[in-house]
Structure formats: structure tokens, C-alpha cells
Amino acid sequence: MNTPDSQPTPQFGKAEYVGDPGTDRCASCNQPIVSEYYRVNGAMVCPTCTSSAQGALPRDTHGAFTRAVLFGCGAALLGLILYSAFGIITGLVIGYLSLAVGFLVGKAMMMGSKGIGGRRYQIVAVLLTYAAVSMSAIPIAIAMRSKQDRELSEQRQRLAEQQHRSPAGQQPGNESGEGSSEGLSDQSKMSAESAEHPRMGFAAAVGYLALIGLASPFLDLQDPVHGFIGLIILLVGIRIAWQITAARMPEISGPFQNSPAT
């Protein structure tokens, strides 16, 4: 039994932290902060946990950036296919698909980099999103042109059948045979125009289509209402890709001195 003058024997078997009630504690290890601390994303953290957090951060390497670009290119190609397929099948070009393209590109790049983001990732994400959306105008335009050519070919075929059923040398509604001469003159005009404008090479044609595709969001401004709305939606999709690929670095500030409790 201890007397009033006796003191308890110190215990060295476990560490005990003595502090006044309300002493600030580390948000990570929950140990009291005696003198110095840091702020990590606004939370009070001790120097030891701050060093551990800095050491655990993923490093931006050339391999991570390369994987992010490859994944982003694949997502951009997928977005281009989906955007074009929807426009070709339905005959409608809905600008809101730009948001989905930006989301796909951003998520794919972060997946490829394993969570590493930064300014160069954001720039690539913006370029890929814009290219995927703008270049989708090429297959849509080709499909629409092919559809118009088929309709025109069907009209010519029906006209030829009507001419075949009519008496020789005559066309429906014209007994003097002037229609056939006009048809021949039209064919001669077409052949003359094709001779004046020779066909461009494959590489030149691809380059021309690429330029037209990249400029398509601004060429659509010829229809001010539709073109302006589409351009705004495209910018929102680009912003989505920009935000997703931003750096995920914690905000660390300090060191600060912890004033003793009064």
C-alpha cells in the first residue's frame, strides 16, 4: 500500500503519451503533435507521416506517360467509332456524345498511367478528345454522300427503264428526241470537268479529309445556332477530359509550430 509520500513506480513496458486534454493529434497516426506539424490536404499531420505520404506518391515516368497515351488513343478511336456509328445509323448528329468521348479518353489515360496525371496528360487528353469528335464528321459525311449517290443512281435507273419502255428515239413527254441529246451533252460536260480536275492521290486525299475533319466544328458555324451549340458542348467534353487527367498530388504545406495549450 502506498503512503502519501510514496511515488508510483515508473512503467517502462509500454509507451505512454502524456498530454493535456484537447492536444492536437496527427490525422494519420493519431499521435499527439508536440511541436512541429504539416498540413496535408488541410489535415494536421506529423512530420513522420508527411514523409511517408511523400514517399508513397506515384512517380511520373516515361513508361507511365507512354501507356497513358496508348490507352488514350484507343479510347479516342472507340469514341470516334461510337460517335460516327450513331450518326450514320440514326442520321442524327448529337453533340452530347462529346461528353462521353471526353470521359472515355480521360479515364483510359488515367488507367494507363495507373492514376498519374499532370499537365502533359491533360494536353494529350484535350487533343485526343477534339480529334475524335471532329474527325467523326468524315465517316458521317462519306456515309451521307454514299446514300445520296445510291438515291441518284436509282433515279437514273428508273429514268432509263422509262426511256426503254417508250418508243425508239423518244423520251416520255418529248417526241423530238431532244432529251437524249441533252443527256449526251450532260455526260460530255461531266467528262470535261473530270478531265480538268484530275483525281488527287491517296495521301493527298487523306490529308485533305483530315483537315476538313479537324476544321468541322468551326465549319459548322455556317449554321450559327447549331454550330455554336455543338462547339460549346465539345468544349465541355474537353473540360471533362482535362479535369479527369489532372494531377492527384496532395497539397502539403508547412512545417508549422504547434503552440502549447494554455
The residues, ordered by sequence, that sit 6+ positions from 126 with a Cβ below 8 Å of its Cβ are 238, 241, 242
How many Å apart are CA 258 and CA 82, to the nearest integer?
57
Better pLDDT: 116 or 183: 116
The residues, ordered by sequence, that sit 6+ positions from 172 with a Cβ below 8 Å of its Cβ are 162, 163, 166
Better pLDDT: 6 or 68: 68
How many Å apart are CA 249 and CA 247, to the nearest integer?
6
CB-based contact 120:65 (threshold 8 Å): yes
Res 166: pLDDT? 66
Q: What are phi and psi of 172, to 5 degrees?
A: -60, 125
| Percentage, residues of the chain above pLDDT 70 | 69
Q: Tell me the pLDDT tens digit for each residue of 211-239.
A: 777 777 777 777 777 778 888 988 999 99
Tell me the pTM.
0.62
Res 237: pLDDT? 92
Choose from 123-127, 155-159, 252-256 the range with maximum mean pLDDT.
123-127
C-alpha cell recorded at residue 217? 466544328
Helix (H) or strand (E) holding 39: strand 36-40
pLDDT band at 202 (very low <50, low <70, confident <90, very high): low
Smallest Cα–Cα separation from 242: which of 132, 131, 118, 133? Answer: 118
What CA–CA distances, in Å, run from 241 to 60, 92, 162, 246, 251? 19, 24, 57, 9, 22
How many Å apart are CA 249 and CA 173, to the nearest integer?
79
What CA–CA distances, in Å, run from 225 to 11, 76, 222, 232, 262? 80, 27, 9, 11, 66
Which of 6-15, 54-63, 95-104 shows the lowest mean pLDDT across its residues?
A: 6-15
Res 178: pLDDT? 47
Res 38: pLDDT? 82
Q: How many CB atoms lie under 10 A from the CB of residue 183?
A: 15
Residue 103 has pLDDT above 90, yes or no: yes
Which residue bears the cell 470516334?
A: 80
Q: Tell me the pLDDT tens digit for each residue of 74-91.
A: 999 999 999 888 888 877
